[in-house]
Structure 1
């Protein structure tokens, strides 16, 4: 049977999600835990990758297995073999043709900004502490040019290997709650560091260093060198992967 699991993790201690030779990754720990649970080497198929230090509340992976373990109890058994900063929170049986990556229709990422002049120990590596006053209207205005399908080469990190740099952002929503500001990005897929570079650039605009139109200039330039800094990974979360209901049983 084809089993889909939902995973949460704190990415602080890992070299990203994807398996890498001789490096500690979330996918490596997850593969080992599932193989130990099933007492058989098992290949998993993941919805996507996250960069080093990025967190997840809604990463997904599927794998094929014949097991007598009750599907509702499977997360608890897998978690027994996982470190405390990675957890499986849901498991379900899906169609045999389901693939965690190729069946995905959209992804939601959230960037969390802690807009305070004082650091808070409980938010360390959980949000980006940004102590400066921000013009959220200018920030929101700068995002307008990014909605839709564009060449996002100017917002791609170094050493990324991709077929092309065309991506489609469906929406970017901003919500302020006290000292926290949440930025929700919806799209089919994103380039390496894309959201973090967009955030780094937008924060420069929000501080008054550039006009909102600067974002569109960068987009059209297709040059990473003229874009803003890459915002820290600690503020970025993969919140969810959206699948069509007919992909699921």
Structure 2
């Protein structure tokens, strides 16, 4: 028996998220089906991030156990021959049997893309959120400063989440503007349900002048989901990668 890590990139447009569920096809389901066929044994895949429907990834880490004699680093090549074009393995390698992609100390990076212009661009509709309302990026950056560090992010947690604590550590939050595109990049030691999308929605509301940047500090202190902004649509969100502190490689 050996444990293999795969780094998975995918376009989440046509999937009901990562985790297997009864109401539609998911990334996990597709991976498990094709791995089971390839390795000729039942395979169960465990992912680092259970992304929602419509969310994309450049490097979601996942592991599975196998008795196959195929070298871990070769599995990526064989599996990519079977997978649909909107899912591709970027790397595969053997890891220790006790390696767990969610419980190892790690840092995840997400990007939320906003198309801010007069009219939408059809080719961007699945990969960014469009708004014609002008956004003040400097005010968004000022508001973002209040979210960096360890805080109780209860106000930024989607309803229905079952967690022991809502305290999280955001290690980086930057906002870049490239022409008509605004990119919110968030890095942290773990995230609550819909946390990044609620952060994005809140920062956009600051950007359009609904409330001042300092109000974000009040949102944190309120620990009340109703005080924060709307949850931004899934299509603008991409999991860029996962970095494990036991390895200098960023997946």
Aligned to 1:52, what secondary structure does the other structure show? coil
Matches of 2:138 and 2:120, distance apart in 1: 25
Give the C-alpha shift of residue 232 in structure 1: 0.9
172-181 or 92-101: bigger deviation: 92-101
Matches of 2:117 and 2:248, distance apart in 1: 43
Give the C-alpha shift of residue 245 in structure 1: 4.4
Give the C-alpha shift of residue 104 in structure 1: 4.1
Matches of 1:91 and 1:156, distance apart in 2: 33
1:115 maps onto 2:116 in alignment: yes
Aligned to 2:219, what secondary structure does the other structure show? helix
Aligned to 2:117, what secondary structure does the other structure show? coil
After TM superposition, the structure 1 = structure 2 runs for residues 24-43 of structure 1, keeping only pairs within 5 Å, are 24-43=25-44
Matches of 2:200 and 2:51, distance apart in 1: 16
Give the C-alpha shift of residue 74 in structure 1: 1.8
231-240 or 73-82: bigger deviation: 73-82
Structure 2 unmatched runs, 5+: none
Give the C-alpha shift of residue 23 in structure 1: 3.3
Give the C-alpha shift of residue 70 in structure 1: 4.6
RMSD: 1.8
- Equivalent residues of 1:47, 1:104 under 8 A apart: no
Runs of 4+ in 1 over 6 A off after TM superposition: none
Give the C-alpha shift of residue 36 in structure 1: 1.2
1:5 maps onto 2:6 in alignment: yes
CA separation of 1:142 and 1:11: change in aligned 2, threshold 3 A: same
CA separation of 1:4 and 1:148: change in aligned 2, threshold 3 A: same
- Aligned residue number for residue 203 of structure 2: 202
Give the C-alpha shift of residue 71 in structure 1: 4.0
- Aligned residue number for residue 181 of structure 1: 182
- Aligned residue number for residue 49 of structure 1: 50
- Aligned residue number for residue 101 of structure 2: 100
Matches of 2:23 and 2:99, distance apart in 1: 30
- Aligned residue number for residue 243 of structure 1: 244
TM-score (norm 1): 0.93
143-152 or 89-98: bigger deviation: 89-98
Give the C-alpha shift of residue 111 in structure 1: 0.7
How many equivalent pairs are there?
248
Matches of 1:210 and 1:178, distance apart in 2: 24
Matches of 1:14 and 1:156, distance apart in 2: 23
- Equivalent residues of 1:117, 1:131 under 8 A apart: yes
1:215 maps onto 2:216 in alignment: yes
Give the C-alpha shift of residue 82 in structure 1: 2.3
